[in-house]
Structure 1
Amino acid sequence: MQYRLLGKSTLSVSEIGFGCMSLGSNDADNARLIHHALDEGINLFDTADLYEHGQNEITVGKALKERRAGVVIATKVGNQWKADGSGWDWNPGKAYIIASVEESLKRLQTDYIDLYQLHGGTIEDQIDDTIAAFETLQQQGKIRYYGISSIRPDVIREYVKRSHIVSVMMQYSLLDRRPEETCFPLLAHSQVGVLARGSVAKGLLLGKPAVPYLNYAADEVAAAATAIGKISGPERDAAQTALRFVLQQPVISSAIVGIRTGAQLEDALRAASTPALQDDEITQLTQAIAINKYDQHR
């Protein structure tokens, strides 16, 4: 397993991160899966207070309690469940964030969170108020670093300019290269690391029947999947090729992979050990489909 520093932080994170959102409801099964990942070198585990009404944090906390040292726990805040459980409201307010961290710490059974992330964000938010919450928590030692999870260039620019974020979680794949236009250059220049999600585009890059995706028509999606398949083989399957394409971007610190089963974990681990794509392979992939760009929140 290779490790990369997360932005300007001192956090050394595995280039394959464990996306905990996909975990099931059996704590014992989840613990076995998480411990296997740890044994194989994965040290970054990403969850959120939103997932399963906090149950995801609870199962992750149980699994990591006895192996906390050396583990990077990332969780998120900002989506407040409605009292009747029917959905959630966006709440990036300082008071809510400061109250929410206490609940996450309890569920995770830890004294501190390595990376606390704002789970979204809009340009209309009281951004300075939100930043003040994270800065306060950092000063109190309840979080080590903070970041945001967003695909909105206008929001990302404001946090880069006004805060001390060390990371941005955002979607990136061969079928979603929108971050390349402005976000990646800005984040690289500012030494903010990227946690990439959606690297296999809901499986569309792995041979699932092609359907429209973002602004791509089904035939364009199929062309991208075909390109992935052409440079894959016995030593590197389609999933591993798709992940290596993501990880070849220097600004990306880790690709967060949703893992629920042992087979999915093994696939992710193999991606970490497969060789990097050659320049000609990258060219084949990028020429297979026109690059897309953000058309909103620019």
Structure 2
Amino acid sequence: MRSHTLGRNGPTVSALGFGAMTLAPRVYADVSEQEATEALLAAVEAGVTLIDTADIYGAGYSESLIGRVLRDRRDEVVVATKFGGNADERGRLRPGLGRPEYVRTALEASLGRLQSDHVDLYYLHRLDPTTPIEETMGALAELVQEGKVRHVGLSEVSPATLRRACAVHPVAALQTEYSLFNRAPEKEVLPACEELGVGFVAYSPLGRGLLGGALRDRSDLGAGDWRRGNPRFQEGNIERNLALTDAVAALAAENDLSVAQLALAWLVHRGTVPIPGTRRAANVRANAAAAGVELDEATLLRLEALVPPEAVAGEQGDEGYLSRIDR
């Protein structure tokens, strides 16, 4: 497993991490605790050191699972978690989650569930529009000084907000959705990270399952699957998007890779750290292997030509709204 240092002075992590949202039964109702445990252990045994979660994944279940399963292996992993992403029953971000007093309360709760005395990388999950980013960063800086947080991260913020945050305290990583199906960060966000010395962590690196290889049509989505309400998975759009996946799969086969491995290897080549999530240990191991794949320039150019941004059908969806609140 290759390693990658996030930011100028951030943590050194595996070139590919593990997204633990998929381990929460309240998010994915059909995942069992045994399955989740096996997937998490498979990640660590495959050399994955960056384990990414959040306090809202399964209402704390994901953090608690990580605490139970990795308590005796805490020194082997870089645990990243997030706060401030809670929404109301209508999906609207709750106000006040970036206030200094809330930051400290949220961290203490996460530390309890993680069974740890520190978080290696602590993210603000979504910008609180009622609190200046400088105040939130000031609170996070205090937690760093106290040793309860090792590094600070932000998720889904604009370059302008990122610059303001970095003026208060170093930001080790910015986490944003990025994949062959969502290349929006290439316009402004990735250049800003390069300029400011901030690492980039790519969530939903497999296009929310479109590049996973298992999804063939809308009927593959369970009745309670949240993607049924996402524009990219609506009838008319999902067929067009899966046609793009088929084109990527053909190129992957030429290189003896799965479509997921090719999509992940592309992100690693771009200098980002993708954090794919899955409940299946076999998929964890296959994804981890993508970190070691070498892609030549010709293959990269062909791949990017197969999925031009304008060809992806449907809007990004819910996260798109949340990422624009500071525009």
Q: TM-score, normalised to structure 2's length? A: 0.80
Against the structure 1 CA distance between its residues 66 and 29, is the aligned structure 2 distance closer, same or farther, given a 3 Å change threshold? farther
Deviation digits for residues 162-209 of structure 1 (CA, Å, limit 9, x no counterpart): 431110111111111111111111101211001101111122234634
Report the structure, 1 or 2, having the larger strand content.
1
Q: Specify the alignment match of 2:21 in structure 1.
A: 21
For 1:113 and 1:258, locate their aligned partners in 2 and report how far apart those are by CA, in whole Å: 20
Pick the aligned partner of 1:130 from 116, 121, 136: 136
Against the structure 1 CA distance between its residues 212 and 282, is the aligned structure 2 distance closer, same or farther, given a 3 Å change threshold? farther
For 2:85 and 2:309, locate their aligned partners in 1 and report how far apart those are by CA, in whole Å: 31
Matches within 5 A, 1:50-129: 50-80=56-86, 89-90=94-95, 91-121=97-127, 125-129=131-135
Matches within 5 A, 1:269-284: 269-273=288-292, 275-284=293-302
Contact 1:196-1:255 within 8 A present in 2 as well: yes
Choose 176-185 or 254-263, whichever is displaced more: 254-263
Q: Specify the alignment match of 2:245 in structure 1.
A: 225
1:238 alignment partner AA: V
Asked if 1:266 is matched to 2:285, the reply is: yes
Against the structure 1 CA distance between its residues 20 and 156, is the aligned structure 2 distance closer, same or farther, given a 3 Å change threshold? same
Q: Specify the alignment match of 2:150 in structure 1.
A: 144
For 1:88 and 1:242, locate their aligned partners in 2 and report how far apart those are by CA, in whole Å: 31
Number of residue pairs the alignment of both structures matches: 292
Against the structure 1 CA distance between its residues 58 and 131, is the aligned structure 2 distance closer, same or farther, given a 3 Å change threshold? same
Against the structure 1 CA distance between its residues 220 and 87, is the aligned structure 2 distance closer, same or farther, given a 3 Å change threshold? closer
Which structure 1 residue ranges, 5 or more long, are not aligned? none
1:208 alignment partner AA: R
Q: Specify the alignment match of 1:7 in structure 2.
A: 7
Contact 1:30-1:63 within 8 A present in 2 as well: no
In structure 1, the residue corresponding to 2:122 is in which secondary structure? strand
Aligned-pair distance for 1:159?
2.5
Q: Provide the identity percentage.
A: 29
Aligned-pair distance for 1:228?
1.1
Pick the aligned partner of 1:242 from 263, 273, 288: 263
Aligned-pair distance for 1:281?
1.5
Choose 68-77 or 34-43, whichever is displaced more: 34-43
For 2:86 and 2:204, locate their aligned partners in 1 and report how far apart those are by CA, in whole Å: 24
For 1:245 and 1:213, locate their aligned partners in 2 and report how far apart those are by CA, in whole Å: 21
For 1:284 and 1:122, locate their aligned partners in 2 and report how far apart those are by CA, in whole Å: 40
Deviation digits for residues 190-244 of structure 1 (CA, Å, limit 9, x no counterpart): 1100110111112223463489639x95576345324312311172110101111
For 1:209 and 1:159, locate their aligned partners in 2 and report how far apart those are by CA, in whole Å: 42
Which structure 2 residue ranges, 5 or more long, are not aligned? 26-31, 219-229, 311-315
Deviation digits for residues 241-261 of structure 1 (CA, Å, limit 9, x no counterpart): 1111111112x1x21011211
Contact 1:53-1:81 within 8 A present in 2 as well: no
Aligned-pair distance for 1:262?
1.6
Against the structure 1 CA distance between its residues 13 and 280, is the aligned structure 2 distance closer, same or farther, given a 3 Å change threshold? same
For 2:205 and 2:85, locate their aligned partners in 1 and report how far apart those are by CA, in whole Å: 24
Contact 2:4-2:13 within 8 A present in 1 as well: yes
RMSD: 2.9
For 2:14 and 2:276, locate their aligned partners in 1 and report how far apart those are by CA, in whole Å: 12
Q: Specify the alignment match of 2:37 in structure 1.
A: 31
Against the structure 1 CA distance between its residues 162 and 24, is the aligned structure 2 distance closer, same or farther, given a 3 Å change threshold? closer
Choose 113-122 or 282-291, whichever is displaced more: 282-291
For 1:154 and 1:58, locate their aligned partners in 2 and report how far apart those are by CA, in whole Å: 34
Q: Specify the alignment match of 1:197 in structure 2.
A: 203
Pick the aligned partner of 1:169 from 175, 185, 194: 175
Q: Specify the alignment match of 1:291 in structure 2.
A: 309
Aligned-pair distance for 1:288?
2.8
In structure 1, the residue corresponding to 2:60 is in which secondary structure? helix
Contact 2:54-2:63 within 8 A present in 1 as well: yes
For 2:242 and 2:41, locate their aligned partners in 1 and report how far apart those are by CA, in whole Å: 37
2:41 alignment partner AA: H
In structure 1, the residue corresponding to 2:154 is in which secondary structure? strand
